[in-house]
């Protein structure tokens, strides 16, 4: 077949006439927008049926006959149609001979392809569809035959999380941000777990949520700033996700810019640095896998893949990341009453007393889940460089497992818990927004005057928040082997 290669600004055009009598095969219409010209004429060429998105894989020869859609372009004047296939941008190892697309894709990503039909009088109609090129090293998830348990019914929160009792830090349930419309179900959180670990949620299959939120580091990252799908860096340090279910008002991110978890979880997917997909591209990619339709059906009753369902499933999984089995938790009896004296070392006990007493930590990192009560300006700097939620105020993640998830603060400035405590001891800087809780009655930044033993005791106490069960729980681990 003769083949002409033209180059228009940034578009490789590979043009040939298609075989005239392509079979009239019906294909499922897709949500792509058919473009027809001119629109006013009744004898215009129209797109009767469109090409569906196609899946390809890096390094694997790909063939697809785009006249499957082209065959159902209507040709009212019967002058005969010729077809052109064009690729947006670089063609990624693909080329077209007539309507036959072939070649071996070189890089993962989404390739936009346009088929244009033209009659001998010059009238045209086009249809655009996507070839998703998946990375070659992806696998399908391995899930247990009978689902892991995530729902409150099957994994009840311990008593000291659900009820207040004398001597403890109080229950966090008042700050539970689970909406009535999105309670955790086993199937919903299972789908959320697969989504969380699936690199297909990024444009080039390079990163998953778990790249920046790693279980071993309490779903945070050891890097000060995390690396996105194309090697770019995030603007702030990754947040630990343990006990994210509990936060008053239910806003998310260091600066609370997401109004709910359901709104938050779709943002990294669309972030140009983090994952780089549009929600439409996300839907296309997930629909081309063999396993998602069944997981959506199990979770939501039908195989339909919608971004609302993606958001709900990811949120269910994130809310299932409750950490309730640390040494601190084991100090509580089944009645929800703590026995710190019988559980802690003398040093941890001193730390516990300072934390909820003179050092004032529990005023902001409260309840038995050690969650923040809201946003605060902690006086990290004398002049505000990042306004956060306004006036230098930030949310803090729950301090559960804080030992394993250095570095600390929204900018990852502290490498150790000793540095954090030294900061609260004598490093708080005065600035107009400094929280009153970190000021003396006279308005000066608070100085705790901790002894070295007291500093180390506070650190030892925070290490009792480390929950090894949580950090290696197979229910929360990657299903991709």
Which range touches ligand HEC (CB under 6 A), out of 9-17, 65-73, 91-99, 401-409? 401-409
C-beta of 361: minimal distance to ligand HEC in Å?
3
309-to-124, 286, 313, 315, 458 alpha-carbon distances in Å:
38, 12, 6, 10, 42
Binding test (CB under 6 A) with ligand HEC, winner from 14, 269, 371, 476: 269
Query: 10 Å Cβ neighbour count for 430?
Result: 12
Among 118, 213, 285, 309, binds ligand HEC (CB under 6 A): 213
C-beta closer to ligand HEC: residue 194 or 396: 396
Please say which residue, 75 or 386, places its beta carbon nearer to ligand HEC. 386
Minimum CB distance to ligand HEC, residue 409 (Å): 4
Under the criterion CB under 6 A, does residue 359 sit at the interface with ligand HEC? yes
Query: Given candidates 93, 336, 397, 479, which one binds ligand HEC under the rule CB under 6 A?
Result: 397
Applying CB under 6 A, among 63, 437, 447, 468 the residue interacting with ligand HEC is 437
# residues contacting ligand HEC (CB under 6 A): 55
CB of 79 to ligand HEC, least distance (A): 50
Residue of 71, 175, 277, 438 interacting with ligand HEC (CB under 6 A) = 438
For ligand HEC, give the closer residue by CB, 184 or 209: 209
Site map (CB under 6 A) of ligand HEC, residues 171-200, x = contact: -------------------------x----
Q: How far is the CB of 53 from ligand HEC (least distance, A)?
A: 21
324-343 residues in contact with ligand HEC (CB under 6 A) are none
Contact between 378 and ligand HEC per CB under 6 A: yes
| Chosen residue from 135, 253, 343, 429 binding ligand HEC by CB under 6 A | 253
- Interface map 406-425 toward ligand HEC (x if CB under 6 A): --xxx------x--xx--x-
**How far apart are CB 292 and ligand HEC at their closest, in Å?**
15
Choose which of 361, 404, 428, 471 interacts with ligand HEC (CB under 6 A). Answer: 361
Per-residue H/E/C for the chain: CCCEEEEECCEEEEECCCCCCCCCCCCCCCCCCCEECCCCCCCCCEECCCCCCEEEECCCCEEEECHHHHCCEECCCCCCEEEEEEEEECCCCEEEECCEEEECCCCCEEEEEEEEEEECCCCEEEEEEEEEEECCCCCCCCCCCCCCCCCCCCCCCCHHHHCCCCCCCCCCHHHECCCHHHCCCHHHHHHHHHHHHCHHHCCCCCCCHHHHCEHHHCCECCCCCCECCCCCECCCCCCCCCCCCECHHHCECCCCCECCHHHHCCHHHHCCCCCCCCHHHHHHHHHCCCCHHHHHHHHHCCCCCCHHHHHHHHHHHHHCCCCCCCHHHHCECCCCCECHHHHCCHHHHHHHHHHHCCCCHHHCEECCCCEECCCECCCCCCCCCCCECCCCEECCCCCCCHHHCCCECCCCCECCHHHHHHHHHHHCCCCCCCCHHHECCCCCECCCCCCHHHHHHHHHHHHCCCCHHHHHCCCCCCCCC
Question: Given the rule CB under 6 A, which of 26-34, 56-64, 252-260, 336-344 is the region that contacts ligand HEC?
Answer: 252-260
- Closer residue to ligand HEC in complex, CB, 104/260: 260
The pattern of x and - marking residues 449 through 478 that bind ligand HEC according to CB under 6 A reads ---------x--------------------
Q: Does 207 bind ligand HEC (CB under 6 A)?
A: yes
Q: How many residues does the chain have?
A: 481
* Partners of 133 in the β-ladder: 56, 109
* Interface ranges with ligand HEC (CB under 6 A): 196, 201, 207, 209, 211-213, 226, 228, 234-236, 238-241, 244, 252-255, 264-265, 268-269, 274-275, 314, 318, 359-361, 363-365, 376, 378, 380, 394-397, 399, 402, 408-410, 417, 420-421, 424, 435, 437-438, 458
């Amino acid at each position: 077949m003769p083949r002409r290669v033209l180059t228009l600004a940034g578009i490789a055009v590979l043009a040939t006439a298609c075989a005239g009598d392509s079979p009239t095969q019906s294909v499922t219409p897709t949500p792509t927008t058919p473009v027809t010209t001119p629109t006013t004429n009744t004898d215009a060429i129209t797109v009767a049926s469109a090409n569906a998105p196609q899946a390809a894989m890096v390094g694997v020869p790909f063939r697809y006959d785009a006249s499957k859609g082209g065959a159902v372009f209507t040709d009212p004047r019967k002058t005969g149609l010729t077809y052109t296939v064009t690729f947006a941008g670089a063609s990624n190892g693909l080329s077209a001979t007539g309507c036959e697309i072939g070649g071996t894709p070189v890089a993962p990503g989404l390739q936009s392809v346009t088929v244009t039909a033209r009659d001998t009088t010059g009238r045209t109609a086009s249809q655009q569809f996507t070839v998703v090129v998946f990375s070659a090293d992806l696998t399908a998830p391995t899930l247990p035959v009978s689902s892991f348990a995530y729902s409150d019914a099957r994994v009840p929160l311990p008593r000291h999380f659900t009820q207040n009792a004398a001597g403890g830090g109080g229950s966090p349930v008042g700050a539970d941000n689970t909406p009535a419309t999105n309670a955790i179900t086993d199937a919903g959180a299972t789908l959320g777990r697969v989504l969380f670990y699936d690199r297909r949620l990024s444009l080039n299959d390079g990163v998953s949520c778990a790249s920046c939120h790693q279980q071993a580091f309490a779903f945070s990252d050891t890097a000060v700033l995390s690396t996105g799908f194309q090697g770019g860096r995030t603007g702030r340090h990754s947040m630990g996700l343990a006990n994210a279910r509990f936060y008053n008002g239910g806003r998310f991110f260091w600066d609370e810019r997401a109004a709910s978890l359901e709104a938050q979880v779709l943002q990294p997917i669309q972030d140009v640095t983090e994952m780089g997909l549009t929600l439409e591209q996300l839907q296309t990619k997930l629909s081309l896998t063999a396993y998602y339709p069944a997981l959506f059906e199990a979770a939501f009753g039908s195989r339909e893949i919608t971004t609302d369902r993606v958001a709900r499933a990811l949120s269910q999984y994130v809310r299932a990341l409750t950490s309730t089995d640390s040494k601190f938790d084991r100090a509580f009896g089944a009645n929800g009453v703590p026995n710190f004296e019988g559980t802690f070392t003398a040093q941890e006990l001193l730390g516990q007393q300072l934390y909820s007493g003179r050092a004032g930590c529990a005023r902001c990192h409260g309840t038995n889940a050690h969650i923040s009560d809201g946003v605060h300006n902690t006086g990290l700097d004398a002049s505000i460089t990042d306004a956060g939620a306004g006036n230098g105020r930030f949310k803090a993640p729950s301090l559960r497992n804080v030992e394993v998830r250095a570095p600390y603060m929204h900018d990852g400035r502290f490498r150790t818990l000793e540095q954090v405590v030294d900061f609260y001891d004598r490093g708080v800087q005065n600035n107009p927004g400094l929280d009153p809780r970190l000021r003396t009655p006279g308005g000066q930044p608070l100085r705790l005057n901790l002894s070295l033993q007291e500093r180390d005791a506070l650190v030892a106490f925070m290490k009792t928040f480390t929950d090894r069960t949580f950090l290696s729980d197979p229910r929360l681990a990657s299903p991709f082997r």
